[in-house]
Amino acid sequence: MTAASLALGTAAGGWAWTADRRADARAERAAAEERVAAVVDAADTDRAAAAAAQAALTAVGTSAVLTGPRAALDGALAQARATLAESAERVADDAVRQALAATLEAAEAEAPAASAVRLRALAADVAAAEHGVREAVAARDAAEAEAGRAAAAAAAATAPRRPSTSAPAPSADRSCATTYSGPAFYTSPPTEGGDGSNGRLPASALTAVSWARDSRGTPFYLRHDAAAALERLNAAFRAALGHDLALDLTYRDYDTQVAMRAALGSVAATPGTSSHGTGLAVDVPELPCEYGWDSAARAWLVEHGPSYGWVSPAWARQDGSNPEYWHYEYRG
């Protein structure tokens, strides 16, 4: 009995020890699994962080690559919109303007998702369409100028001969003498190598009127459309008053603007801002009886000039800020 009991007791103790070891093993395994899971979680976190960082770097790189092409397209779009607005009713065939409008619309729709290469291609397409409109405007302006010269020549060929058709004979009345007392200035020829800015207009931007030159033999140049309009105005002026419109100054280059400012002070425009520097202004002679405030010529010009796009600006009127009865500007 005692021996059996002892044996049983020994077996029970061995079983308890084994159970404890198993529990400890399970606990160690669970702890190890937790450590492994923590390591995996950390690795996953690192991978997510790395992926996010890579995505940010990619976005920054993509943005940098697109900056230049987007800026080029934005510039082309802005120029095209301005040309489209300014060219209304100034082309012989409006199809070229419609093509530009369609190109603009397509480029604006595609731009947000376009690649750098595609952005540059869109900018080139817009620039080409815009150039086509500008060429169409220039072609119509040149055609109108040529038509004006032809009309003036035809009118001159059929008009009765007079001792002078350029202006009425000056009056002997001293009150009719010129109101200008400053140094002599002359109209300017086109600016050689001009960049198109105020006072630097090249020959390609200007047209000479057909009926007059200044005292040194220099033609009176104006922007193409302004010259064409003045040709038409002069034909009507001559029919109404019996002589051509006399001219004193038209295009004024930058150097002449500087010289006039130095000689005349604030009466002359700040160099680089004169309307003469754009080829859109004329001065008739400063002769009060022929072209002054109460003259028949001025009355006709003020009344009929706007029909041809030529006006006496508010500042140059008799009650304006700088009265100049001799100055007129082309407003189209």
Tens-place pLDDT, residues 284-299? 999 999 999 999 999 9
What pLDDT does residue 317 have? Answer: 95
Is pLDDT at 274 greater than 50 in this prediction? yes
| Same domain for 151 and 284 | no
Confidence of residue 85 (pLDDT cuts 50, 70, 90): confident
The rounded distance, in Å, linking the Cα atoms of 139 and 145 is: 10
Q: Within a domain: residue 4?
A: no
- DSSP bridge partners of 329: 281, 311
pLDDT, tens digit, for every residue of 148-188? 666 655 655 544 333 333 444 444 455 688 878 788 889 99
Q: Which domain holds residue 78?
A: 27-158
| Same domain for 187 and 112 | no
What pLDDT does residue 46 have? Answer: 59
Spell out the residues 6+ positions from residue 38 whose beta carbon is closer than 8 angstroms to its own.
none
Q: Tell me which of 130, 158, 186 is where a domain ends.
A: 158
Q: Do 149 and 103 form a contact (C-beta atoms < 8 A)? A: no
Q: Within a domain: residue 167?
A: no
Is pLDDT at 278 greater than 70 in this prediction? yes
| Same domain for 125 and 253 | no
Q: Within a domain: residue 34?
A: yes
Q: Tell me which of 158, 192, 221 is where a domain ends.
A: 158
Q: Within a domain: residue 172?
A: no
Q: With pLDDT > 90 as the criterion, what percentage of the chain qualifies? A: 45
| Same domain for 207 and 110 | no
| Same domain for 100 and 235 | no
Q: What average pLDDT does range 184-211 have in this prediction?
A: 94
| Same domain for 184 and 251 | yes
| Same domain for 316 and 199 | yes
Looking at 182-186, 224-228, 268-272, which range is the least confident one? 182-186
Q: With pLDDT > 70 as the criterion, what percentage of the chain qualifies? A: 72
| Same domain for 324 and 220 | yes
Q: Within a domain: residue 165?
A: no
The rounded distance, in Å, linking the Cα atoms of 86 and 196 is: 17
Confidence of residue 225 (pLDDT cuts 50, 70, 90): very high
| Same domain for 192 and 289 | yes
The answer to whether the predicted template modeling score (pTM) of the entire model surpasses 0.85 is no
Token output for 298: 């001025």
Instruction: Say which CATH number the domain at 322 has.
Output: 3.30.1380.10
Q: What is the dihedral of CA 137, 138, 142, 148, to 10 degrees?
A: 40
Per the prediction, the chain carries an average pLDDT of: 80
| Same domain for 279 and 229 | yes
Spell out the residues 6+ positions from residue 232 whose beta carbon is closer than 8 angstroms to its own.
148, 151, 308
For the chain, the residue count is: 332
| Same domain for 154 and 182 | no
